[in-house]
Chains A and B, each alone.
Chain A
Amino acid sequence: MSESLHFAEHRLQEIALLVMACVYAIRIFWLTRYKAGRDRQMPTGPPDTNKKKGILYSLMNIMMPWAMESTRKHFIIYSQFIVFHLGVTFAILMSFLIPYAPDTMKPVWVIYLFQVVIGAAFIVGIFRIIRRFSKKVMRAISTPDDYFSLILITTWFLTAFLSVPNKPENGETIMIIYFWLTAFFLIYVPFSKISHYLYYPFTRYYLGRTMGHRGVFPLRGSRQSK
């Protein structure tokens, strides 16, 4: 392994992670500086609902595609979302496994598993790019960061897919690109929309708390047709 690859796999990742952690901490501090609104009224809605149930339901909502009309009606987009985020998880996991537990990446089935998931995520990424560029409403709501973040992650998927076998002896270039992109990704995340997962627990927690207190969550009874 060359020094360049070693640096990219270790020191570069550590610096990137440190920067990300610091910026994240600042972001959370910034968000929590704002006072949380209270629900001073007595609870409403069905007696079997409450704040706790609302919070739990709200946080788990993303795993219940039947719960929201938007995911129920657009199950393909929802499936793409699952595949895309699984791809992110696997590609990040790989950035730790290759430097710190390379043996885990050796079995052929592991390589196939990672390549299938990350490869599928790459294809979804391409679909998402096309959707964002081709649909009028998506263009209207997109910022340069939206386009860039999507292209960045999709490209990163491609380099991750090619790096899965972890064979520097066959050429290090793609692995070096993958690790540099990972580092860039880590540093860029807090400044971009990709940091949404940092806010997700906050938004869903508070929405669930309010809606649970009012008996709106768990959503129930509604169906699109008979």
Chain B
Amino acid sequence: MKERSYKANLLIEGMAKKLNRQMVGSLVACVHCGMCTESCHYVLTNPDDPTYAPAYKADRMRKIFKRHYDWTGRVFPWWVGAKSIFTDEELEELKDISFGKCTNCRRCSINCPMGVDFATFNRALRGLLVSVGVMPEGVAVVSKDQWEIGNQMGVLPEDYIDTLDWLSEEMQSEFDDETAVIPIDKLDADIVYTINPREVKYDPRTISDAAKIFHIAGENWTMPSEGWDMTNFGLFSGDDALGGAVAIRVYEKLKELRGKKLVISECGHGYRSTRCEGPNWAGIDQDFIMESSVFTMLNYIKEGKIKVDKSKNTGSYTFHDSCNNARSCGLYEEPRELLNLVVSDFREMYPNRNENYCCTGGGGAMSMSEYTSRRLKSAKVKADQLKATGANIVVTSCHNCVDGLTDLIKHYDLKMEVKQLVNLVANALVIPEKITAPEVPTVEIKKAPLAGRKILVVDDEPDILVFFKSVLEDNGAIVFEASNGEDAISIALKEKPELMTLDINMPGKDGGWVFENLRRNPEIASTKVCIITGRPELRRLIYDRPVPMPEGYLDKPVDPDTLLFNVRKILEVG
């Protein structure tokens, strides 16, 4: 008899705990009619490869289920396609299918005549693989961060608070109003606003945009100092325990602050996890109100709490429905209603709403760099969809989609921009007389905010060096370049830059080596570091080192605004 590996055994045993009636129904009901095939964006871009077909992918788990839990498969395994797993290599194959060939977008589920919900049991399969330690490295890193640090991007508490304080100062200065602040841990607020850590790390503007809207609406609101991350990697990893723990962390903080309503910023998976799945994972009944910030902003306009001038948002706009919002939470009309209130030229994308195609970066795909080429190939479907709208700005209510779309727009050279509703609402705000934002004071700051600041750019890719250098020099910085680890250290010792942007994956001495050497050398240890990498799974090369953490972190690709924004933030340039 064939011997089964320890992990394979655990996975088979673990399956029993994952099965519920819905899942078993979906596992036994498939008739292999093939109707789901063309609903999948992976199939549409790989028409000759049947291994992308949803039914084929679903059968990988179905085979194991039938072999061990369904007596037809136990008695006639070959006849009904039942098959067990024995080796760790087979687990790796399952990982490749479950994580690398499906974004759990649920498009096949709504196109199955039998009502087989493949996305649900694919998530369960991911959970089983994670339970035996078989997962893409990016999934392991992000899950670890969310378990240990409390948010999925490893944002430290002091960085989070610093960012909010900094944004508060900016807002006070913009409105010339001491009360224009982001309240933290305020008790009895009507709204407790939770966000995606991506907003802190890469896009603090979305936080300040939301803050402006709350301020002008005269809202009694707050942001929590803990339990502020409404995203939940448990959704992507299939780990219900993580899902429940993260959701409870958010719910408990709301209760501790005696908040009346939890408002979730624009994030598809965050909204689904916190609003729709969290209570189920946590095993508690929802007893307080939760809503997407899309509803909040829409209601402000409808109730006259804020006024908007749509002429401020020029350009042509289309809307991309996030899978988690539209296909798992029924959120698709309100974003359109809101968008139509803040822009003049809206062009619908086809198909849309429940039938829209995935941004192709969903299901955690953006954190699994080993599947990037596969993901970008499948993004052709989305690229064609975007192009057909003729719009130059795509709006979405999801941070994951922002990243996924930005990446594919760059890859397919679409000349489009991605925005969120909060950006457009904030931009269209008609600011009442008493809190009119003054003009930005000095021309010099606008033109050269980094004037005289020394920055060392370290990257082995010549294109990246040129790109970073030109963006930073255009803003007044004095830029030095290094294309390998040794040069980076010697230039740092010679020029004493204030900031080093550091790539991790370089031939020879990698970013980890540079970082540790920098931190351990008293001459240059105080140099601020912003890690900029296309391999997020390698973050451990930096963060596992016993030296003080870097001051910033960015995932490639980086657009000029994000780069500049983060550099200014690290150097504390207003």
Give the interface of A toward B (CB within 8 A).
30-32, 34-42, 44-46, 49, 58, 61-62, 68-71, 73-74, 77, 81, 135-146, 148, 191-193, 196, 199-200, 202-204, 206-208, 210-211, 214-216, 219-226
Given A196-B31, A203-B29, answer yes or no on A145-B80 (Cβ-Cβ < 8 Å).
yes
Contacts of B110 in A (CB 8 A): 68, 211, 216, 219
Q: Which of B80-115 contact A (CB under 8 A)?
A: 80-81, 109-115
Given A35-B21, A41-B279, A144-B78, answer yes or no on A219-B354 (Cβ-Cβ < 8 Å).
yes
- A37-B20, A199-B25 given; name 14 further pairs at CB < 8 Å: A31-B21, A34-B23, A40-B280, A41-B278, A41-B279, A70-B39, A144-B80, A210-B22, A214-B276, A214-B328, A219-B353, A222-B353, A222-B354, A223-B352
The smallest C-beta distance from B353 to any residue of chain A, in angstroms, reads 4
Contacts of A81 in B (CB 8 A): 33, 113
Most B CB within 10 A of own CB, among A74, A141, A192: A141
Binds A, one of B329-337, B413-421, B444-452, B463-471: B329-337
**Pick from A49, A214, A221: contact of B352, CB under 8 Å:** A221
Most B CB within 10 A of own CB, among A46, A68, A144: A68
Contacts of B350 in A (CB 8 A): 223-226
The answer on a CB contact under 8 Å between B56 and A137 is yes
20 example contacts (A-B, Cβ-Cβ < 8 A) are as follows: A30-B71, A37-B21, A39-B280, A40-B286, A41-B278, A41-B280, A44-B329, A45-B331, A69-B111, A70-B38, A145-B76, A203-B114, A207-B109, A216-B110, A219-B110, A219-B354, A221-B354, A222-B354, A223-B350, A223-B352
Contacts of B115 in A (CB 8 A): 58, 61, 200, 203-204, 206-208
Closest to A224 in B: B351
Contacts of A224 in B (CB 8 A): 350-351, 355
The smallest C-beta distance from A159 to any residue of chain B, in angstroms, reads 23
Closest to B354 in A: A219
The answer on a CB contact under 8 Å between B25 and A141 is no
Most A CB within 10 A of own CB, among B115, B332, B333, B351: B115
The answer on a CB contact under 8 Å between A46 and B279 is no
Q: How far is the CA of A222 from the CA of B26 in the complex (A)?
A: 25
Chain A CB within 8 A of B32 CB: yes
The answer on a CB contact under 8 Å between A200 and B114 is yes
The answer on a CB contact under 8 Å between A145 and B79 is yes
Contacts of A39 in B (CB 8 A): 280
Contacts of A211 in B (CB 8 A): 110
Chain A CB within 8 A of B134 CB: no
Give the interface of B toward A (CB within 8 A).
19-26, 28-39, 43, 48, 50-51, 53, 55-56, 59, 71-72, 76, 78-81, 109-117, 275-280, 283-286, 289-290, 326-333, 348, 350-356
Contacts of B117 in A (CB 8 A): 203, 207
Given A69-B351, A222-B354, answer yes or no on A138-B34 (Cβ-Cβ < 8 Å).
yes
The smallest C-beta distance from A196 to any residue of chain B, in angstroms, reads 5
The smallest C-beta distance from A42 to any residue of chain B, in angstroms, reads 5
Contacts of B328 in A (CB 8 A): 214, 216
Q: How far is the CA of A141 from the CA of B353 in the complex (A)?
A: 29
The answer on a CB contact under 8 Å between A68 and B21 is no
Contacts of B34 in A (CB 8 A): 135, 137-138, 141
**Pick from B29, B39, B71, B330: contact of A69, CB under 8 Å:** B39
Most B CB within 10 A of own CB, among A38, A44, A81, A226: A44
Q: How far is the CA of A137 from the CA of B26 in the complex (A)?
A: 20
The smallest C-beta distance from A202 to any residue of chain B, in angstroms, reads 4
**Pick from B116, B278, B327: contact of A216, CB under 8 Å:** B327
Most A CB within 10 A of own CB, among B22, B330, B356: B330
The answer on a CB contact under 8 Å between B275 and A44 is yes
Given A40-B285, A141-B59, answer yes or no on A45-B31 (Cβ-Cβ < 8 Å).
no
The answer on a CB contact under 8 Å between B79 and A143 is yes
Contacts of B28 in A (CB 8 A): 31, 199
Q: How far is the CA of A164 from the CA of B283 in the complex (A)?
A: 57
**Pick from A42, A191, A193, A220: contact of B286, CB under 8 Å:** A42
The answer on a CB contact under 8 Å between A142 and B32 is yes
The smallest C-beta distance from B554 to any residue of chain A, in angstroms, reads 33
The smallest C-beta distance from A64 to any residue of chain B, in angstroms, reads 11
Contacts of B50 in A (CB 8 A): 136-137, 139-141
The answer on a CB contact under 8 Å between A140 and B113 is no
Given A36-B21, A215-B329, answer yes or no on A74-B35 (Cβ-Cβ < 8 Å).
yes
Closest to A35 in B: B20
The smallest C-beta distance from A217 to any residue of chain B, in angstroms, reads 8
The answer on a CB contact under 8 Å between A143 and B80 is yes
Contacts of B284 in A (CB 8 A): 40
The answer on a CB contact under 8 Å between B111 and A31 is no
The smallest C-beta distance from A27 to any residue of chain B, in angstroms, reads 9
The answer on a CB contact under 8 Å between A45 and B329 is yes
The answer on a CB contact under 8 Å between B355 and A222 is yes
Contacts of B351 in A (CB 8 A): 69, 222-224
